[in-house]
Amino acid sequence: MPRITTLHYRKLVKIFELAGWKLHHQRGSHLHFVKAGFRRPVIIPTYKEVPIFIIENNLKTAEISTKQYFELLKKI
């Protein structure tokens, strides 16, 4: 399985939108996404390259496996 690498925030937004997350609001340079059934929002900073640890933490919060992540990444 490939490794998770840094990603532009727009691609990361598309991945979470494909997974059913909706943009709730933006506070400064951070986008807040919510989804029914989840207590915590997913926060995506508007960086040219989102660090790996942020991507991994967001996947954990969203309960998206690495395999699902790469399948969604192929769709964009």
Please name every residue paired with 42 in a beta bridge, in sequence order, or none if there are none.
33
pLDDT tens for each residue of 29-64: 999 999 999 999 999 999 999 999 999 999 999 999
Supply the pTM of this predicted model: 0.93
CATH architecture under which domain 9-75 falls: 2-Layer Sandwich (3.30)
Q: Is 63 left (phi over 0), alpha (psi -120 to 50) or beta?
A: left
Q: Which residues on adjacent β-strands are paired with residue 25?
A: 32
What residues does each domain of the chain span? 9-75
Percent of the chain with pLDDT over 90: 96
pLDDT for the residue numbered 54: 98
